[in-house]
Structure 1
Amino acid sequence: MSLPIRPAVQASPDYPFSAVTAPVKLDQNESFADFPEALKVMALQRLSELPWHRYTDLHAEALCEAVARHDGWSASGTVVTTGSNVLIALLVQLAGMGARVLTVKPNFALYALDARLLGAALTEVPLRSDFSTDVDALIAALGEAPGRGVVFVPRPHAPTGSLCGLDELERLAQACRDGWLLVIDEAYHPFTAHDARALAVRHPHVVLLRTFSKAWGLAGLRLGYALAGDDVARQLRKLVPPFGVSVLQTVSALVALEHPDYVRERVAHTLHERERMTTALQSHPHWQVFPSHANFLLVRTPDAAAAHAMLLAAGVLVRRQDTLHGLQGCLRVTVGTVAENDAFLRAAGVGA
């Protein structure tokens, strides 16, 4: 029996992740701490007072308004979904199907996976040897046929932690004016000093992607959002499933947005620990740690498989990245608690 499954789906690999259990979990770039207990209690109390037999807002309007107030954006230009990874697929549907997806490599796997699944022509421009974004090469690639589609640029970049300059993104935005959406994935923007909102204000074809999964400590909640011009947001909303954000997601995120101080405290911890870990790893005789603007570090080792196994044997789980373009020997390490980071550094041979 032949199943009616599109060839693009059959040819696509599974998402590249296999769950592994370890005492110290530093493999998925999650927040080092859970949502504060007092805020959990507050959210659950509010949830208990709401009707569960009624549908939620059609497009999470109340949550969009709260996100917009927090981020200094218009509510009409804010689109909330169950994870920014959902928005990646929707943006490909919006502008990339029958056209192109242009991005860099290495990169977050879903840009390429969604392009292939949805039948868009994919172009991946390699990062430079120092992991900086080759904007000149991206601009040159825009001219290839067909000359329209979606460009995905993460800022900061994952998995390297590098940061594309806003002046470089301005050049790219100028070049993308005709026929292209420029999507700047800001999943890790709280760990940097500047974001790209001003760029998106100047250019209505620029879309920013953000998430509650990292700095907000709500990865299990599955919420992400786009900040866009009103025209793009209105068209994007047509692709978002109706009533797609649950009452639990809505209430929990509203409570978080009302109490953002905990996020600032956790970001400060992450930045301090990131610097401490970087300094310690710089003394390693065989490993090389790269500068990072996110909540993780990229480390090159002589043998990623051996280093990963050695760390796991010590109870520390990190993420191998050595199968990705230009990342031979590399591991990615999330910045965790002080105790978790100490355990990693000891296992790596640079801690007390």
Structure 2
Amino acid sequence: MTLPIRPAVLNSPDYPFIPVNAPIKLDQNESFADFPDELKAIALERLRHAPWHRYTDLNAEALSEAIAAHDAWPAAGTVVTTGSNVLIALLIQLCALGGRVVTVTPNFALYALDAKLLGAALTEVPLRADTSLDMDAVIEALGPSTGDGPTGVIYIPRPHAPTGSLCALHELERLAQACPGWLLVVDEAYHQFAPDDARDLARRHAHVVLLRTFSKAWGLAGVRLGYALASDAVARQLRKLVPPFGVSLMQTVCAQVALEHPGYVRERVAITLRERDRLANALRTHPTWQVLPSHANFLLIRTPDAAAAHADLLAQGVLVRRQDSLHGLRGCIRVTVGTVAENSAFLRAAGVSV
């Protein structure tokens, strides 16, 4: 039987992730700690008294206002969905159906997967050998601007995953000025771990959109919430593609409680940065591994053999992520910054002093 499914879907691979159980899980860049118990109690109490038989806000208006207040952004330009990964596909629908998607490689897999699934022409610009972004090559890949409407979407993660590198803001400014016919999407999933963010850039350029998530520093990966910070004009059109009543009551309440108590995030980010530095300094003593600088909550490590390193760590109960199948990352593994105890266990498993 021939299935009535588009060839682009049939020919697309599955998302490249196979879950593996291990005592110490450092493979998905999650927060090292769960949502605080006292905040869970507040959220559960609110849920107990909330009406479950009623729909939530049409476009998550109350939550958008809370996010906007926290991020110093207009509520009209804040668009909330069930994960920032949903927005990656929606932004292609908004600007690149039949058009183009430009990004870098290696990169977060969904940029390329969604482009292919939605029939957009994909251009991936390789990072330099030192994992920095080659902005001249990105701008060259755009080609001439036609001025005949939207050309497509550009995805630039900042900090970059999976390398942890950070594109300079003045380089993003160059790109924003060079792509007036494009939507420039800066994915800031890990922005809390970096020294700055791109909000000023997005304020100056209406075609720049920022993506953010509650899955990393906020410790709410299981809740599944992300959002876009955009100009009012872009956000108004983007909302047309977001399913109505799409953010659940549980998601709304959990995020509102988190936003009312942001101090726990600041504390955890500070711990993560200290532990990231401790891991990096210790790994620099490894005889054959090379740790790359990172501005996120993970480290990319070049090893002589990623498969062997991954298997050896897993045999000692520590799960990391192989990245050696990605462009330019031969021999690389990626480790999330975990708890102090988890990080020490990883270092012992790696054979370096704690």
TM range (shorter): over 0.9
State the AA in 1 paired with 2:322.
R
Give the distance between the partners of 2:2 and 2:350, measured in 1 at CA: 50
The counterpart of 1:315, out of the listed 314, 317, 320, is 317
Match of 1:39 in 2: 39
Q: Which of 302, 305, 315 is the matching residue for 1:303?
A: 305
- 1:127 maps to which residue? 127
Report the counterpart of residue 155 of structure 1 in structure 2: 158
1:77-156 matches, within 5 Å, as 77-143=77-143, 148-156=151-159
Distance 1:72 1:14 in 2: 37
Pairwise CA distance, 1:351? 2.8
CA offsets per residue over residues 137-163 of structure 1, 9 Å max, x none?
111111169881000000000000000
Unaligned 5+ segments in structure 2 are none
Q: 1:301 and 1:128 mapped to 2: Cα distance?
A: 19
- Aligned-pair distance for 1:196? 0.2
TM-aligned CA deviation for residue 297 of structure 1:
0.1
The one of 289, 313, 317 equivalent to 1:287 is: 289
> Equivalents in 2 of 1:79, 1:259: separation in Å?
21
CA distance in 2, matches of 1:130, 1:213: 28
Equivalent residue, structure 1, for 2:50: 50
Q: Deviations over 1:61-86 (max 9, x none)?
A: 00000000000000000000000000
1:174 alignment partner AA: Q
Structure 2 counterparts to residues 13-24 of structure 1, below 5 A: 13-24=13-24
State the distance in 2 between where 1:24 and 1:163 align. Answer: 28
Alignment partners' CA distance in 2, 1:6 and 1:114: 14
AA partner of residue 120 (structure 1): A
The residue type equivalent to 1:274 in the other structure is R
Length, aligned pairs only: 351
Given that residues 145 and 179 in structure 2 are in contact (C-alpha distance below 8 angstroms), is that contact kept between their aligned partners in structure 1? no
Structure 1: give runs of 5+ residues left out of the alignment.
none
| Distance in 1, Cα, partners of 2:143 & 2:343 | 45
**Cα RMSD, aligned residues only:** 0.9
What fraction of aligned residue pairs are identical, expressed as a percent?
77
Tell me which residue corresponds to 1:324: 326
Give the structure 1 partner of residue 196 of structure 2: 194
Judge conservation of contact 2:187–2:211 (CA < 8 Å) in 1: yes
More deviation, 27-36/135-144: 135-144
- Structure-1 separation of matches of 2:266 and 2:300: 23
Mean CA deviation greater in 111-120 or 147-156: 147-156
Distance in structure 1 (CA, Å) of the matches to 2:211 and 2:198 = 10
**Displacement, 1:334?**
0.0
**Amino acid aligned to 1:135:** M
| TM-score in terms of structure 2 length | 0.98
CA distance in structure 2 between the aligned counterparts of 1:47 and 1:15, rounded to whole angstroms = 33
Q: Secondary structure at the match of 1:225?
A: strand
- Cα displacement (A) at 1:288: 0.3
How many Å separate the matches in 1 of 2:144 and 2:335?
Answer: 37
| 2:222 match: secondary structure | helix
**Distance (whole Å) between structure 1 residues aligned to residue 2 and residue 285 of structure 2:** 58
SS at match of 1:219: coil
Give the secondary-structure state (helix, strand or coil) at the position aligned to 1:221.
Answer: coil
Aligned amino acid, residue 109 of structure 2: A
Trace 1:249-268 onto structure 2 (pairs within 5 A).
249-268=251-270
- Residue number among 238, 250, 253 corresponding to 1:248 in the alignment: 250
Name the structure 2 match of 1:3: 3
